Amino acid sequence: MKNLQKGDKKLLNAWAFYDWANSVYTLTIASAVFPIFYEALFAKRDHYIDVFGMHLKNSALISFTTAFAFLVVSFISPLLSGIADYVGNKKAFMKFFCYLGALSCMGLYWFDLGNIYIGLAFYFLGLIGYWGSLVFYNSYLPDIAFEEQQDRISAKGYSLGYIGSVILLVINLAMIMKPDWFRITGPEPAMKAMRYSFIMVGVWWVLFSQYTYYYLPKGSKETGEKLTKSVVFNGFKELKKVWALLKENIPLKRYLGGFFVSSMAVQTVMLVATYFGAQEIQWSSKEEGTIGLIICILIIQLVAVIGAVLTSRASAKFGNVPTLIVINAVWAVFCALAYFITLPMHFYVMATVAGFVMGGIQALSRSTYSKLLPETEDTASFFSFYDVAEKIGIVIGMCVYGIIDQITGSPRAAIVILAVFFVTSIFLLRRVHKKELSK
């Protein structure tokens, strides 16, 4: 381990490189390969399974599992934030969650309907590991970078994560499309290739994170303070303090309402899009469906970069809130039209549209929130509140989606309900006074 000074270029690059290591989880496991693999398990049977004493649709089951995982994350994040602020060796905590997530990804190799409970446990723990490690990863930023360096190095981390995750996904796509090139043989070689991709995600995550751990210091303090009950629950105290301050900041409170409803829908669409495409689009063959879905994910990734740039320019010209209202309107139309799509070409077009509006809404939502914050040095508490609100929104969105999918037997009606969320967000955002935002 190297002891580098705050602001050192090598230290900053090592921190940013963790995005390269862990972003493969969000692309391969959360968005692309695992959803396709999960759907393929049900190819020779209907979409229902008896689990937890219930007869559940497969997409509803994974929605409920995801919702429960985010519920746990929304609870432990403030706990971990409180611990991160006080312990001397938060690198050990970051490593724990990193390895928990990576090993859980590897465990998905054994995911099968015959051992569904073990498979769901690995999926659940992978999500916990990913988000748990991010709490400590993000908390390092003020420790290793000066304020004027933080925006740049944070953006660099995002870029590295995007590049790394796309590289691995392209390799995985080649394995799935041409398993014989990689000497993957036997029955269902494409499925076997997907299982190998889960192991590759875990190995990639652990292997490349070592560069980060080599240079990162133990924590913000030389010696950790004693971990008391007060320290552990400090994160919740900070959230309570922010909630009280919101009563005095009406524009911020109104904006958070609009953000909460919008995020509820956006994050749900991002998490269920592949499951929707696998079930509802009329692919000519299983192979076309697998390749088509992964291509759609890559389209979204590529177009999202352009969308982020265009959104940034639009907000500079027209203002943050007006731009967010337009983006939410596009999302609402997108969800309404999704009810009618059936052909692969429809899905490709929708993926392109989704990429444009997905690329900008998250970054713009966060920067708008930042502009509305009161004059304070304690921005960490406000952003912790923001993150928890986002995760609780995901819990509600995934539960709504799963319940409707389970009751109706189709996710189409659930997608339309998400359009209602976006329309609601538009009305809430219109209440934010325009003068409170600089253009």
Instruction: Identify the sign of the CA torsion 320, 326, 328, 331.
Output: negative
Q: Yes or no: say if 57 and 48 are a contact pair by the CB < 8 Å rule.
A: yes
| One domain for residues 255 and 118 | no
For the chain, 439 residues long, give each residue's pLDDT as a single digit of tens: 567 778 788 999 999 999 999 999 988 998 889 999 998 898 777 889 999 999 999 999 999 999 999 999 888 888 776 676 666 677 888 899 999 999 999 999 999 999 999 999 999 999 999 988 888 887 787 778 887 777 678 778 877 888 899 899 999 989 998 899 999 988 889 899 999 999 999 999 999 999 999 998 876 554 445 656 666 677 777 778 888 877 777 888 888 888 889 888 888 888 888 889 988 899 888 778 888 888 888 888 788 778 877 887 888 888 888 889 999 999 999 999 999 999 999 999 998 988 888 767 776 787 777 777 777 655 667 777 888 888 899 999 999 999 999 999 888 888 888 999 999 999 888 887 555 544 4
| One domain for residues 226 and 324 | no
Q: What is the pLDDT of residue 379?
A: 63
Q: How many CA atoms lie within 13 A of 421 on its CB side?
A: 27
Q: Yes or no: say if 205 and 25 are a contact pair by the CB < 8 Å rule.
A: yes
| One domain for residues 67 and 150 | yes
| One domain for residues 48 and 27 | yes
| Cα–Cα distance measured from residue 270 to residue 358, given in angstroms and rounded to the nearest whole number | 9
Of the candidates 324, 431, 329, which has an alpha carbon nearest to the alpha carbon of residue 368? 324
| One domain for residues 197 and 276 | no
Phi, psi of 52 (to 5 degrees): 55, 35
| One domain for residues 43 and 102 | yes
Domain end (from 198, 232, 266): 232
| Alpha-carbon separation of residue 172 from 28, 40, 41, 167, 207 (angstroms) | 9, 16, 18, 9, 17
Q: Yes or no: say if 86 and 92 are a contact pair by the CB < 8 Å rule.
A: no
How many structural domains is the chain composed of? 2
Domain end (from 204, 232, 260): 232
Q: What is the pLDDT of residue 227?
A: 59
| Cα–Cα distance measured from residue 26 to residue 20, given in angstroms and rounded to the nearest whole number | 11
Q: Yes or no: say if 222 and 197 are a contact pair by the CB < 8 Å rule.
A: no
- Domain of residue 262 covers 234-439
Domain end (from 182, 215, 232): 232
Phi, psi of 404 (to 5 degrees): -65, -40
Phi, psi of 396 (to 5 degrees): -65, -45
| One domain for residues 144 and 273 | no
| Cα–Cα distance measured from residue 157 to residue 178, given in angstroms and rounded to the nearest whole number | 32
| One domain for residues 302 and 374 | yes
The CB-based long-range contact list for 43-50 (8 Å cut-off, 24+ gap) reads 43/286, 47/279, 49/113, 49/116
At 73, which CATH number?
1.20.1250.20
| Cα–Cα distance measured from residue 262 to residue 266, given in angstroms and rounded to the nearest whole number | 6
Strands (E) across 76-157 are located at none
| One domain for residues 169 and 297 | no
| One domain for residues 204 and 304 | no
| One domain for residues 196 and 264 | no
Of the candidates 26, 135, 126, 138, which has an alpha carbon nearest to the alpha carbon of residue 74? 135
Q: What is the pLDDT of residue 242?
A: 80
| One domain for residues 94 and 212 | yes
